């Protein structure tokens, strides 16, 4: 059994993959019923798209939903889980509080993994009584479609834990990379976030319009989407949070663009708020 803590953008997708592809029973937990309802609604919508594209049958969709069990209580969520995947917002204090509570109720042999995209795995593991059975398991958005999982070793993570998470990821039909050293941003975000931050700087400095920056990178670097479209999907506040972690851990050259801070303060967060660099209220 897998427990997913958090039913938001990433959490519901991780729960879906666990139930749909890995065929596991899944407990999905959040702190409010409305968050659970929204997450289950997003999962159903995603599965319906797979049915429409004839990737899965309607029976497969119903079977998948039947394997997902939404709950509000932490004890109920984790007490029988073999793997607990934390997928709450990218905030150190929130993650620590959730992980400490999960660790208290989890059975002795359970592995706990964090879906953090930037925070130190060693620091998160230290809040638990099982640092050797704790690691990073970083999915990419949307987990239902993106093939990669970064598996991050903390200072005390055992080889057995890493091997188990590699096997579970493969059961989810994911490709894996193992990050041998716990460093801010791991592999992908260590490279990606400075590039996205520089795209913000280009807009802030008036070098080019967002549409032309996106066009240049799509056609010039063969990215599937431009960097400013990508941050609208990722969430501009999430991008800021990751940038601040990189700055704190790796130095001032990773500091966020003034525009990144300004848009976060203005709640222009991208697709999840309806507007970022683009107006998502008008897009299908």
Contact 182, 121 (CB under 8 A): yes
Contacts 24+ apart (CB under 8 A), 50-55: 50/144
Measured CA distances, 18 to 110, 139, 140, 241, 259 (Å): 16, 12, 14, 27, 37
CA 51 to chain centre: 24
* Pairing verdict, β 26-29 and 2-5: parallel
CA distance 45 to 12: 11
| For the chain, the helix, strand and coil percentages under 3-state DSSP, each to the nearest 5 | 50, 15, 35
Contact 148, 177 (CB under 8 A): yes
Name the residues annotated as catalytic.
117, 138, 150, 189
């Amino acid at each position: 059994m897998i427990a997913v803590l958090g039913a938001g953008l990433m959490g519901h997708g991780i729960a879906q993959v666990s139930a749909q592809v890995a065929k596991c029973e899944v407990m999905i937990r959040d702190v409010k019923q409305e968050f659970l309802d929204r997450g289950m609604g997003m999962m159903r919508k995603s599965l319906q798209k797979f049915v429409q594209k004839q990737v899965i049958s309607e029976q497969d969709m119903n079977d998948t939903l039947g394997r997902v069990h939404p709950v509000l209580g932490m004890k109920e969520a984790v007490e029988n889980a073999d793997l607990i995947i934390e997928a709450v917002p990218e905030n150190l204090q929130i993650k620590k509080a959730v992980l400490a509570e999960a660790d208290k109720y989890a059975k002795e042999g359970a592995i706990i993994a964090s879906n953090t995209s930037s925070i130190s795995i060693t620091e998160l593991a230290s809040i638990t009584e099982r640092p050797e059975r704790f690691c990073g398991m970083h999915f990419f958005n949307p987990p239902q479609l993106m093939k990669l999982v970064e598996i991050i070793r903390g200072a005390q993570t055992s080889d057995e834990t890493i091997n188990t998470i590699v096997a579970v990821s493969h059961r989810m039909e994911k490709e894996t990379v193992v990050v041998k050293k716990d460093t801010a941003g791991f592999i992908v975000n260590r490279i990606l976030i400075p590039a996205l931050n520089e795209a913000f700087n280009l807009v802030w400095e008036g070098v080019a319009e967002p549409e032309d920056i996106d066009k240049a990178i799509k056609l010039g670097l063969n990215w599937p989407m431009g960097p400013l479209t990508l941050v609208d999907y990722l969430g501009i506040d999430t991008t800021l949070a990751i940038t601040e972690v990189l700055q704190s851990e790796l130095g001032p050259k990773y500091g966020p663009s003034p525009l990144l801070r300004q848009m976060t303060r203005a709640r222009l967060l991208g697709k999840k708020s309806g507007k970022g660099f683009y107006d998502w209220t008008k897009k299908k």
